[in-house]
């Protein structure tokens, strides 16, 4: 960010915030797969506990199973923001910091997900791993998901047709949405910015500002008034 002249602002930090979920997903999938491999190893070797070398071998096996797929999935998410770099003018200046930070975050997460995470798994995932059915929430999710999964796999063509119809059904509402660069925000504020003649003194500007504020305060709907003299206009006044 420093070498590209990107400061820490709302847009650049927002790119990192958007990427956090996908960045953590890689580690979650990797750890979950090691739990599966470790559970399978315990079923195959019920007579003994895994040694340190066994844990490292299990971590290597688990990482090699899902590592390539995780790396490619994060890479695809990273490439999805490339069109943002084609924006120009005001749009490009506004959204390019977000695209840069999100791209860098996802690229680093892809690298760490297949290098650092397996090493940490070998060090910290030790001891007895409880079965996933031991968690009541997991049991409820499995009971709810398995019947649904059986149905959609029994009727694959009907599932694809329903998904296609749902996609087509969204086209008409999408066409009615309209588009705009930035949404209109109703903050409950009104910005009143009168201009005075050039060369007005600061004392006169202050007097006119106080007079304007008093007049605005007489309106019953106005809750508060804030005025400032100077800048491009002499009497910018914000009222709420």
pLDDT digits (tens, 9 = 90+) for 99-148: 888 888 888 888 888 899 999 998 988 877 777 777 888 889 989 999 99
Kindly report the pTM of this predicted structure: 0.64
pLDDT band, residue 233 (cuts 50/70/90): very low
In this prediction, residues 15-27 reach a mean pLDDT of: 84
Rounded Cα gap, residues 23 and 106, in angstroms: 6
pLDDT value for 161? 96
* Residues listed for the chain: 240
């Amino acid at each position: 960010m420093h070498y590209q002249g990107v400061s820490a602002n709302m847009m650049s930090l927002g790119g990192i915030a958007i990427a956090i979920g996908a960045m953590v997903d890689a580690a979650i999938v990797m750890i979950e797969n090691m739990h599966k491999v470790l559970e399978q190893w315990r079923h195959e070797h019920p007579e003994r506990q895994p040694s340190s070398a066994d844990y490292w071998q299990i971590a290597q096996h688990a990482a090699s199973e899902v590592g390539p797929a995780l790396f490619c999935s994060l890479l695809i998410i990273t490439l999805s923001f490339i069109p943002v770099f084609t924006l120009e003018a005001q749009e490009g200046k506004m959204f390019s910091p977000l695209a840069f930070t999100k791209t860098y975050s996802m690229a680093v997460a892809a690298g760490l997900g297949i290098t650092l995470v397996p090493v940490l798994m070998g060090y910290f995932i030790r001891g007895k791993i409880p079965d996933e059915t031991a968690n009541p929430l997991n049991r409820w999710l499995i009971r709810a998901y398995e019947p649904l999964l059986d149905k959609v796999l029994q009727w694959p063509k009907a599932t694809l047709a329903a998904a296609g119809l749902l996609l087509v059904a969204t086209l008409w509402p999408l066409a009615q949405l309209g588009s705009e660069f930035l949404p209109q925000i109703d903050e409950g504020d009104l910005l009143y910015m009168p201009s005075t003649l050039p060369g007005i003194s600061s004392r006169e500007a202050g007097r006119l500002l106080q007079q304007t504020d008093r007049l605005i305060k007489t309106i019953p709907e106005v809750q508060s008034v804030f005025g400032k003299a100077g800048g491009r206009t002499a009497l910018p006044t914000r009222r709420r």
